[in-house]
Amino acid sequence: MKKQTTVIVGGVAGGASCAARLRRNDENANITVLERGPHVSFANCGLPYFIGGIIEKEEDLLLASPEFFKRRFDIDVRTGHDVIAINREARTVRVKPVVGDEYDQAYDHLVLSPGAQPIRPPLPGIDLPGIFSLRTVPDSKQIKQWIAEHGVKHAVVVGGGFIGLEMAENLHILGIGVTLVERRAQVMAAIDPEMVQPMTNAICAAGVDLRTRTEVSRFDRSTDQKSLEVTFSDGQTVRTDMVILAIGVRPDSGLAEDCGLAIGPRGHIVVDSRMTTNDPNIFAVGDVVEVTCALTNQRTGLPLAGPANRQGRLVADIITGKRRGFRGVQGTAICGAFGLTLATTGLNERALRNMKIPYEVVYAHPRNHVGYYPGAQTINMKLLYDTTNGRVMGAQAVGADGVERRIDVIAMAIQMKASVFDLEEAELCYAPQYGAAKDPVNLVGMVAANAMRGDLPITHWSDIGCQTALVLDVRTAEEVKSDPMPCGKHIPIDELRARLGELPQDKAIQVVCGVGIRAYNAICLLRQHGYQASLLSGGVSTWMHFNPAARACSPG
Ligand SMILES: Cc1cc2nc3c(=O)[nH]c(=O)nc-3n(C[C@H](O)[C@H](O)[C@H](O)COP(=O)(O)OP(=O)(O)OC[C@H]3O[C@@H](n4cnc5c(N)ncnc54)[C@H](O)[C@@H]3O)c2cc1C
């Protein structure tokens, strides 16, 4: 039988995964990887930390070399080889090497994993020296070199997504003053605003000049030619030594578009669940493709390393005749910066509203492990679920430690279409230094399951009604003094049974405490005595994130 030749365009996350899996599946295949850059299989996710000096050596970013691919897998990896055209009829790609003449490379199967390009908006001065994007190892080396040669003291980072935050932190670690500019009202747009607030506080506490609701309108050389001047939409200017653009990426789909492959509304290559394009011999994976959101069935893009790796592996299986399909994405993502970890999975409130899915939200503020074991840290958690059946639709968490484990557990629950009742019952590992016998995942599940069963009515700070409802604060007098609540009546939990007569039977009572546990006990007591009591979800801890007056930092 004739050996099948697979040509892979792009040799990093999706492309390298595909190549290695293909060899594992088929010892007879001819596999060629064409990569325009100088490296294959490098760790783009590690680049901010290379700039910050946490990853010290460039070699540590290079996960495999062409020689390694040849030796281990008998895969022909050609770096410095740019694919400039696809001839679908002839089944060839046109290749332009850095050294030597252009040539045609034949394929039976073509896998496109060209990734995405950082967006560089056509602003005045965008091409001035000192304005960088970050995508490749050479980009990161240029940034490092600029910092060293120009003695950079200040930088403007444009974009408050995860790369912007990681860059802001790494520049800060180097002792560089940072102005972080974000067009929206908040950083990390995929996460609901109140859950971002602790990160916003941490960014400001680190001394970063965070400017939300601010766009860059132009870049100029300073009059003394020694630095850059960045002008913002509000007319203000900042003098700086360098600029990092981190305002998102655009799928690198030009090659596909030129040869007539179907392209989606936002420039992604359209593929089916087998990652096959409208040409059955051409597959596409990674940042360049449009994917289906597993929760909404809507088409979207998700430029993250996990989906790219899994899709690359999946295409190798499909090429070698295995029956598999991509499950879709759910937007699981994480960012660590300024001592905090912020993570999300599934849908946020905006997406749930847009999809008109009836949902409820619960907040909890458990510790990452039991309080009696030293070093316990609060995790602020939010769970979003469908009120028609209790299905978990999303979760977000922010804290110093243990965030990733909780969001990963819930991410798996979402993928398995689990409900809040499943989270309530999940058997998770526990010893004092790792968690609690009721893990934070169990806790948010329990609160939501109580609400679903009708045992715990939930109200929110956003719908707190001073006219129609009474806010009953069951914290201690000391707590109330340091963090007073609006329109409240204060009865400490331990006095409540004796002072029930002070409460109105004909008015809704919204009960609050620090995080919700004492309030829950109070609600059980009140409801059994005929009061209409509900939980102000998340207690004062959640209120601190909602209420602008209580925020440590409110930029823009
Ligand atoms: C700074 C940074 C930090 C990141 N951090 C994270 C993170 O923490 N977590 C996470 O999940 N994701 C992260 N990502 C995103 C993640 O790296 C990407 O989603 C992932 O690499 C996409 O894989 P891909 O194969 O689609 O594209 P890439 O990995 O970008 O690979 C595409 C390759 O194709 C090559 N290429 C393009 N066109 C051609 C052509 N015509 N001919 C030959 N070669 C071509 C390119 O040179 C490139 O090397 C980060 C990205 C960056 C830039």
Using H for helix, E for strand and C for coil, what is the string for 236-295?
A: CEEEECEEEECCCEEECCHHHHHCCCCECCCCCEECCCCCECCCCCEEECHHHEEEEECC
Does the pLDDT of residue 319 top 90, yes or no?
Answer: yes
Ligand 1 pocket test, pick from 50, 55, 107, 113 with the greatest ligand atom count within 8 Å of Cβ, gives: 113
Ligand 1 atom nearest the C-alpha of 15 is 25
Residue 48 near ligand 1, beta carbon < 6 Å: yes
Token match 């503020």: residue?
365
Structural element, H or E, at residue 224 = none
Mean pLDDT of the 519-532 span: 96
Does the pLDDT of residue 158 top 90, yes or no?
Answer: yes
Identify the three-state secondary structure at position 466.
Answer: coil
Cβ 493 vs Cβ 517: under 8 Å: no
Parallel, antiparallel, or unpaired for β 92-97 and 109-112? unpaired
pLDDT given for residue 554 in this prediction: 54
Token match 């009721």: residue?
438
Q: What is the pLDDT of residues 481-525, one digit of tens each?
A: 988 877 679 999 999 999 999 999 999 999 999 999 999 999 999
Residue 61 near ligand 1, beta carbon < 6 Å: no
Q: How would DSSP label each residue in 96-128?
A: EESSS--EEEE-SEEEE---EEE-----TTTTS
Q: Which two tokens stand for residue 157?
A: 């980072």
Residue 252 near ligand 1, beta carbon < 6 Å: yes
Q: Which of 118, 191, 130 is nearest to 159 (CA)?
A: 118
Pairwise CA distance, residues 381 & 397, whole Å: 4
pLDDT given for residue 543 in this prediction: 85
Pairwise CA distance, residues 515 & 537, whole Å: 8
Structural element, H or E, at residue 57 = none
Pairwise CA distance, residues 242 & 75, whole Å: 40
Q: What is the pLDDT of residues 439-488, one digit of tens each?
A: 999 999 999 999 999 999 999 877 776 677 899 999 999 999 988 877 67
Pairwise CA distance, residues 241 & 486, whole Å: 46
Residue 47 near ligand 1, beta carbon < 6 Å: yes
Mean pLDDT of the 60-67 span: 94
Q: Which of 344, 355, 353, 254 is nearest to 297 (CA)?
A: 355
Residue type, 456: L
Ligand 1 atom nearest the C-alpha of 303 is 19
Torsion sign (Cα): 546, 550, 553, 556: positive
Spell out the residues 6+ positions from residue 212 whose beta carbon is closer than 8 angstroms to its own: 160, 182, 184, 185, 186, 187, 555, 556
Residue 301 near ligand 1, beta carbon < 6 Å: no
pLDDT given for residue 462 in this prediction: 76
First to last CA, the chain: 66
Q: Tell me the percentage of the chain whose pLDDT exceeds 90.
A: 92
Does the pLDDT of residue 52 top 60, yes or no?
Answer: yes
Does the pLDDT of residue 550 top 60, yes or no?
Answer: no
Q: How would DSSP label each residue in 189-221?
A: TTS-HHHHHHHHHHHHHTT-EEE-S--EEEEEE
Q: Which of 291, 248, 247 is nearest to 269 (CA)?
A: 291
> How much is the mean pLDDT over the chain?
95
CA atoms within 13 A on the CB side of 112: 35
Ligand 1 pocket test, pick from 34, 36, 105 with the greatest ligand atom count within 8 Å of Cβ, gives: 36
pLDDT given for residue 468 in this prediction: 79
- Residue 369 Cα, ligand 1 centroid: separation in angstroms? 36
pLDDT given for residue 549 in this prediction: 56
pLDDT given for residue 547 in this prediction: 66
Does the pLDDT of residue 43 top 80, yes or no?
Answer: yes
Mean pLDDT of the 70-81 span: 98
Torsion sign (Cα): 273, 274, 277, 279: negative
What is the distance, to the nearest Å, from the Cα of residue 100 to the centroid of all Cα atoms in its chain? 42
Cβ 531 vs Cβ 509: under 8 Å: yes
Residue 160 near ligand 1, beta carbon < 6 Å: no
Does the pLDDT of residue 553 top 80, yes or no?
Answer: no
- Count CB-CB contacts under 10 A for residue 146: 17
Does the pLDDT of residue 123 top 80, yes or no?
Answer: yes
Q: Which of 182, 216, 215, 187 is nearest to 199 (CA)?
A: 187
Cα angle value 450/452/454 (rounded, 5°): 70
pLDDT given for residue 2 in this prediction: 79
Cα–Cα distances (Å) from 61 to 40, 81, 133, 249, in that order, read: 10, 21, 18, 21
Q: What is the pLDDT of residues 256-310, one digit of tens each?
A: 999 999 999 999 999 999 999 999 999 999 999 999 999 999 999 999 999 999 9
Q: What is the pLDDT of residues 191-223, one digit of tens each?
A: 999 999 999 999 999 999 999 999 999 999 998
For the ranges 88-92, 106-110, 115-119, 506-510, the lowest mean pLDDT is seen at: 506-510
Pairwise CA distance, residues 435 & 406, whole Å: 10
Q: Does 429 qualify as catalytic in the annotation?
A: no
Q: Tell me the percentage of the chain whose pLDDT exceeds 70.
A: 97
pLDDT given for residue 331 in this prediction: 97
Residue 341: pLDDT band (50, 70, 90) is very high
For the ranges 93-97, 180-184, 337-341, 542-546, the lowest mean pLDDT is seen at: 542-546
Pairwise CA distance, residues 343 & 338, whole Å: 14
Pairwise CA distance, residues 404 & 368, whole Å: 11
Does the pLDDT of residue 320 top 90, yes or no?
Answer: yes
Token match 């946020």: residue?
348
CA atoms within 13 A on the CB side of 230: 26
- Among protein residues, the one with the nearest Cα to ligand 1's atom 23 is 13
- Residue 35 Cα, ligand 1 centroid: separation in angstroms? 12
Residue 545: pLDDT band (50, 70, 90) is confident
Q: Which of 230, 288, 37, 12 is nearest to 141 (CA)?
A: 37
pLDDT given for residue 182 in this prediction: 98
Residue 303 near ligand 1, beta carbon < 6 Å: yes
Cβ 446 vs Cβ 438: under 8 Å: yes
- Among protein residues, the one with the nearest Cα to ligand 1's atom 30 is 115
Mean pLDDT of the 64-93 span: 97
